[in-house]
Amino acid sequence: MMHIIVMGLSHKTAPVEIREKLTFPESKLEESLQCLLKYDHISEGVILSTCNRTEIYAVSDDPDKGKEDLIKFLSQYHNLDPKKFRNHLYFRHSIDVIHHLFEVVTSLDSMVVGEAQILGQVKGAYAHAFEAHATSVIFNRLFRHAFKVGKRVRTETGIGESAVSVSYVAVELAKKIFEDLAGRTVMIIGAGEMSELTAKHLVANGVTSVLVSNRTYERAVELANRFHGKAVKFDEFPDYMVDTDIVISSTGAPHYIVKRETVAEVMRKRRFKPIFLIDIAVPRDIDPEVDKIYNVFLFDIDDLQSVVDANLAERAREAKKAELIIDREVEEFMAWLSSLEVVPTITVLREKAEAIREAETEKALNKLGELSEREKNIINALTGVIINKLLHEPIVRIKECSRRKDGYLYIESLRHLFDLEARTKVEGRRSRDEGRRTKGEGRGTKGEGRKGLHG
């Protein structure tokens, strides 16, 4: 039997000091996934690593042993004692994983509800896992279903209107420091997607001069040209900070690239005019000690939460609509997942075989003309025996295979070969319709129905 589990930590459960130690660089995701799949109780895996979360999704033959494998993997891969991070972890199992993933892709679990970047980040994580052959039947279906859910929520609700993102929150903080951004100069360190989004928001809010510095100079030139700005060589960016009002840093460096002594020298040359530093990188780019320097205002990714809180109220109504969509989609996916279990599969296979036997036997009896009841019973018994003998060996084998780590692959293959999917959908729809009718009959008044469902 297969189980879907997820282990993670996020901005809700762990400070940046912990999260930055447990990230997975995109360039090493394939290597990380191969390491993950070596554990005995893990058959599929997807690693999602962003500024605000690290999550490892897995298909396991045993949820408890799978959970321990995930902890070991995280500890061994990062060479970190589990005691230092275990209390910050959260775990989900079965239907709760599906619900959680759908909330993640729709941004309901994001620091900024409604931000658009997370869907692309999850798609990227799945793409890496797919290319690394770390996904199979379960996760290929689950993650593609999740992307459908993300699109539905964006289309059918207003959760993405007046787009709010981490980069937008950075702009809001800049406004609090300077009040007016007109005529200000911003330097973007790190020419990634987050940096580009931040630049767009800043320019839209009055910033007139954009400097871009990146380890790959050509990428800095490319991004700077989009904003009619100027590219700066990476080893020269401290010199340009002297004439910069706002610095947004978001690189993938494993160590501080903006150090206290550098900022101290910059401030002396600026005659201590205020400078606003926003570090949206994990691991952090800017030494937190710079915040102790006079007129230096430093904010890291966790500091953005205070601004995020102000945006939650306007998103709450649309989030409720999104939750209703998610609940329906979770129900649909669980119906498919349940169909992979061996007993329902055998039941549907027998029902299909029996329906074919009955139909074909009836045709044959009609062609044979007048037959005695004894003769009809013999023919019916004969066709029944043929069906039972034909199905006996596959059923025995599928039961044996279902106990294996990858047993669901055989079940899914059986369902595909005998085209059992359509039959399951019809039966599932019929069951859900009957369930809704039963719920409606017992609902009572409208007010009582609400109380019964939510009370």
Strand partners, 48: 55
Mark residue 109 as left, alpha or beta (left: phi above 0; alpha: psi -120 to 50; beta: remaining): alpha
265 contacts: CB under 8 Å, gap ≥ 6: 238
Cβ neighbourhood burial of 252 (10 Å; 0-12, 13-18, 19+): middle
Distances (CA, A) of 187 to 107, 207, 215, 243, 275: 28, 11, 14, 10, 11
Please check whether residue 188 is in contact with residue 327, taking contact to mean a CB–CB distance below 8 angstroms. Answer: no
Q: Report how far residue 123's alpha carbon sits from residue 129's, in angstroms, rounded to the nearest whole number.
A: 10
Give me the count of residues in the chain. 455
Please tell me which residue in 33, 47, 51, 187 is annotated as part of the active site: 51
Lateral strand order in the sheet of 53-60: 44-49, 53-60, 3-10, 90-93
Q: Which is nearest to 100 in space by CA: 174, 16, 13, 30?
A: 13
Cis ω before 238 (30° cut-off from 0): no
Please check whether residue 24 is in contact with residue 49, taking contact to mean a CB–CB distance below 8 angstroms. Answer: yes
401 catalytically annotated:
no
Please check whether residue 263 is in contact with residue 293, taking contact to mean a CB–CB distance below 8 angstroms. Answer: yes
Please check whether residue 237 is in contact with residue 189, taking contact to mean a CB–CB distance below 8 angstroms. Answer: yes
186 contacts: CB under 8 Å, gap ≥ 6: 199, 202, 207, 209, 210, 211, 244, 245, 246, 247, 248
Number of H helices, E strands in the chain: 17, 10
Angle between helices 342-368 and 421-441 (to 10 degrees): 110
Look at strands 209-214 and 230-233 and give their pairing. Answer: parallel
Cβ neighbourhood burial of 204 (10 Å; 0-12, 13-18, 19+): exposed
The catalytic residues are: 51
